[in-house]
Amino acid sequence: MAKKGKGGQKYRRPTRPSHNSTPDASPEKLTGKTLPEDVIVEILSRTPAKSLVRFRCVCKSWLSLTHHPKFIEMHLKRNKLRNKCLLLHGFLPKYTARAVSLFRLNEPLVNLFDIKKNFVRKKDYPKNFSFADFFNEMTVCGSVNGIVCLSHTQYPEEGFYVEWGRFVVLWNPAINRTKLVMIPPRKTLFDIWQMVSVGLGFDAVDNDYKIIRLVPVAVSDDNLQGDKAHAESRVEIYSSNKDRWKAVNKGAMIHFYPNRPNCSFIIKGVPYWSDEKALCAIDPHTGMYKNIPHPEYVKNEKTLVHCINMNDLVSVLVYSPGESPNQMVDFYVLDNSGSWMKQFTTGPIVGEGLRMPTGLTTVEGVQIPQHLITGAGLRLPQLLTTGEIVVLNPFNGSTYFYDPKTSHLSGKFAAFQPLWFQSYCHVESLVSVKGMLPFGNEGKSRKNKPGEKNRYIHNTVALALSSPDSPI
């Protein structure tokens, strides 16, 4: 006899749907277990790096997959084409702190790390290393394949330059891992230590991320007093694979004197430095030095020359070319033969007081930290992947984007406000450098490092990555 429910109604047990009914079959087709492994790999390779780090806890196969070198390479190639951004180092609004941030056009600024304005350094630093102390006195020196190079710099204290560059850190903010690299000591008393410049390079031949240092060396007493007419530099390269520093050509000098603590830009893994007359490029694989003179142009008292990276092309912007001051911009590109080709002239950049970013030491009464003033306050411009040029109103620090093709000046961008010091093209990735540790665990030894041994690689995943049809 059937049981009675509320209101005297008979209770009837619900009928069980048949095995082949549509409602049950459809969800089963959508589960991850029924998706082919190559489809899963394809989907995950297009997923942002931050999300993939969280997905590592989903299952052991995904954990192993996201540590697999071929998958990391596949993910990097996809993100290079789709998710480029700018890595900025500058002040936060109201100058409460400095920050390292990611900027994408038409998206909110993403702060990766804040540096408090009134931060007090610990007395036992740097003997007792901490990133809070390090970030307070660091300069961003480049970004390659998601790996960011940070150099420990210091500014004059009581008229005396203390030692610069005691540490360099390799940092991947997407996976939150870092590697602390000690700087070799000064080799001679003639090393101009306060002008050491650092850049990051990638040796594609050896798959090696390398830190490149230019150490100016005085060849006369005048150099020690600031005269750089006859100063030269020694090139030192750190290999992350070999975990050691090496002087290029046994310490032979190159005829270049850096004027800022970081390289100007990086193209295809090669760092470039610029001065008033030329570009300096250091090949990460061979360590060979290449001098690239600026293109020939007519200049006046307002002319400015900016060497930049535009879509992985070595480029030069000449602001106010010609015999008289103006607001025109000549655009040059270095071709494969090493010659400068003038692409076009654009302008005038309409707007009262607008110009390329140049020497600022104070903005709205706030003094810029001395170790962040690059080349007498020079703030290098950047071109976004969309082609806009960064322009500046030097009277209030406002930043705009100028489209050279349409001569259109965008509205003020708050993301660059109130002030930025360094910027590099950046892509978020899963790339890790040998010896990297989780953020905050610097100096601690670990016997088992995640990702070095993938014990749970499923055969199907390995086959999907190694098959001839793989997207790599």
Q: How far is CA 406 from the centre of its chain?
A: 29
As a residue count, the chain comes to 472
Q: How far apart are CA 135 and CA 151, in angstroms?
A: 9
User: Strand pairing partners for 376?
Assistant: none
**Helix count and strand count (H, E) for the chain:** 8, 27
pLDDT in tens, 214-225: 988 887 655 445
Q: What is the pLDDT of residue 32?
A: 54
CA atoms within 13 A on the CB side of 221: 0
Q: Give every CB contact of residue 106 below 8 A, 6+ residues apart in sequence.
A: none
3-state helix, strand, coil in the chain (%, to 5): 20, 35, 50
Q: What is the pLDDT of residue 418?
A: 47
Q: Residue 437 class from Cβ within 10 Å (0-12 exposed, 13-18 middle, 19+ buried)?
A: middle
Average pLDDT, the chain: 74
DSSP 8-state symbol, 226: T
**What is the arithmetic mean of pLDDT over 66-77?**
93
Q: What is the pLDDT of residue 280?
A: 94
Q: How far apart are CA 326 and CA 264, in angstroms?
A: 25
**What is the arithmetic mean of pLDDT over 356-379?**
39
> What three-state secondary structure class fits 95?
helix
pLDDT in tens, 401-410: 777 777 777 7
How many of the other CB atoms lie within 10 Å of CB of 450?
16
Give the tokens for residue 345: 């002239």
Q: Residue 271 class from Cβ within 10 Å (0-12 exposed, 13-18 middle, 19+ buried)?
A: buried
Is it the case that residue 361 has pLDDT exceeding 60?
A: no
Q: Residue 399 class from Cβ within 10 Å (0-12 exposed, 13-18 middle, 19+ buried)?
A: buried
Is it the case that residue 452 has pLDDT exceeding 60?
A: no
Give whichever of 186-190, 388-392, 442-446, 456-460 has the largest mean pLDDT: 186-190
